[in-house]
A = this chain, B = another copy of it.
Amino acid sequence: MIRVMVGSTVPTEHLDRVLELYSRLVAETRKEPGCVSYELLQRQDDPRELMLVEEWQSQEHLDAHTRTPHFVAIVGELDQLERAAPALIYNQLL
């Protein structure tokens, strides 16, 4: 089981469109094999700061996710609208 966190900063004028895209991405991704959870969080003190929090059964499932047509298409569009940090991969210790 692995955890992934991807932070991003969204200019206010793009926030509505970005949230539409994430809504589709989350709905499609939750149907994928190996997806344990896939959630989008928003900072209370700054709505431009988003965090995608993911849990996958294995690295192989995560790799397959990044090759799905919905991932490629939606993340391609998101990249034009927000500034995303590199995905950070974690193991749960406790």
- Residues of chain A at the chain B interface (Cβ within 8 Å): 2-3, 5, 19, 22-23, 26, 39-45, 50-51, 53, 88-94
Question: Per DSSP, are chain A's interface residues mostly helix, strand or loop, or mixed?
Answer: strand
Residue of B nearest to A39 (CB): B92
Of B22, B43, B45, B88, the contact of A94 (CB 8 Å cutoff) = B22
Report 10 cross-chain contacts, Cβ distance below 8 Å, ordered by A residue.
Answer: A19-B93, A19-B94, A23-B94, A40-B93, A40-B94, A41-B90, A41-B91, A41-B93, A42-B93, A43-B89
User: Please, how many angstroms separate the alpha-carbon atoms of A42 and B22 in the complex?
Assistant: 26
Chain B residues near A93 (CB-CB < 8 A): 19, 22, 40-42, 50
